[in-house]
Amino acid sequence: MSALRPDQILKILELTDSFNLHRESVFIPLGREENGSVTLLPDGRVRIVWPRAEPFEAWLAELRDRLKKMDLSKVKQ
């Protein structure tokens, strides 16, 4: 139930970098939520939340797949 650590945030940003997303277009709350989420915000940013019950590395692999399936064309690159 801990918050994201700086090294974990960096791993998420490295992943979003691989999609050519501008880092200012990625919103990563430090706190975790029950189910987690990956959503496109109305302002054109991507909001990424790590779920409480899932190990970080397994979730990070799933995050790549979820981002691949999203239409990221409106996110600043």
- The whole-angstrom separation of Cα 67 and Cα 10 is 17
pLDDT value at position 2? 82
Is the pTM higher than 0.85? The answer reads: yes
Determine, yes or no, domain membership for 24.
yes
Q: How open is the CA angle 33-35-41, to the nearest 5 degrees?
A: 75
Position 35 in a domain: yes
Q: Taking the CA of residue 54 as centre, how many other CA atoms within 13 Å lie in the half-sphere pointing to its CB?
A: 17
Task: Output the pLDDT for position 74.
Answer: 86
Q: Is residue 11 part of a domain?
A: yes
Q: Is residue 76 part of a domain?
A: no
First to last CA, the chain: 32
Instruction: Summarize pLDDT for 24-65 with one digit per residue, the tens.
Output: 999 999 999 999 999 999 999 999 999 999 999 999 999 999
The model's pLDDT over 66-77, given as tens digits with 9 standing for 90+, comes to 999 999 998 888
Instruction: Find the mean pLDDT for residues 18-27.
Output: 96
